[in-house]
Amino acid sequence: MDQALIERLESSFNLVAPRGEELITRFYALLFSRNPEVRPMFPEQMDDQKGKLLASLVLVVQNLRTPEKLMEPLHAMGARHAGYGTLEAHYPVVRDTLVEVMAEIAGEAWSDQLEADWKGAVDLVSSIMLEGTAQARPADANGVYM
Ligand code: HEM
């Protein structure tokens, strides 16, 4: 990741982070209304989950300049997701929902550039998580779990 990209990701995240709770609440509301089939995978009570997702985003943004620190936690997170029934095909859905909500919250400050930056960043995080998933479930690395 080049310096300019890192700076755009950091400053746009700082812009939406003060409304982090609203961001995550809106994210799950949209995710579940458009993809009701994933709702049963999550706990009924979503309060803890919301905090954890926000914390994982903060962790990623805080370590864009030290990406080696992200490998282990993201691999471990991907390995845990194998147990949640998460499929490879769910990742772009989560990415697009998250980026759409970030754009909504950022308002005028959002741009096509940030849209592309964030989609690329979430794709990178997803691919590292999926490496962890494949290591945890080598027999199912083709993305068919259950
Ligand atoms: C950028 C991608 C993603 C990130 C950063 C992320 C982050 C997280 C985090 C931090 C947790 C808390 C528990 C843990 O750390 O293991 C979690 C739980 C969960 N995630 Fe993800 N996730 C991502 C993608 C997905 C996708 C694509 C799905 C599929 C629908 C998914 C489904 C779940 C479920 C079902 C749980 C809750 C499990 C439980 O508490 O029983 N996640 N996620």
Calculate how far, in angstroms, residue 112's C-alpha sits from the geometric centre of ligand 1: 26
Ligand 1 atom having least distance to the Cα of 60: 5
The one-character DSSP state at 139 is: G
* Measured CA distances, 60 to 68, 70, 112 (Å): 11, 7, 21
Domains and their CATH numbers in the chain: 3-138 (1.10.490.10)
CA 75 to chain centre: 13
- The burial class, CB within 10 Å (0-12 / 13-18 / 19+), for 114 is buried
Contacts of 6 (CB under 8 A, 6+ apart): 64, 65
Q: Is the distance from the beta carbon of residue 99 to the nearest atom of ligand 1 less than 6 Å?
A: no
Average pLDDT score, the chain: 93
The per-residue pLDDT for range 55-106, each reduced to its tens digit, is: 999 999 999 999 999 999 999 999 999 999 899 999 999 999 999 999 999 9
User: Could you tell me what percent of the chain has a pLDDT over 90?
Assistant: 90
Q: Tell me the average pLDDT across 16-20.
A: 96
Pocket probe mutation, ligand 1, options 84, 125, 129, 145, max atoms within 8 Å of Cβ? 84
Residue the block writes with tokens 């080049």: 2
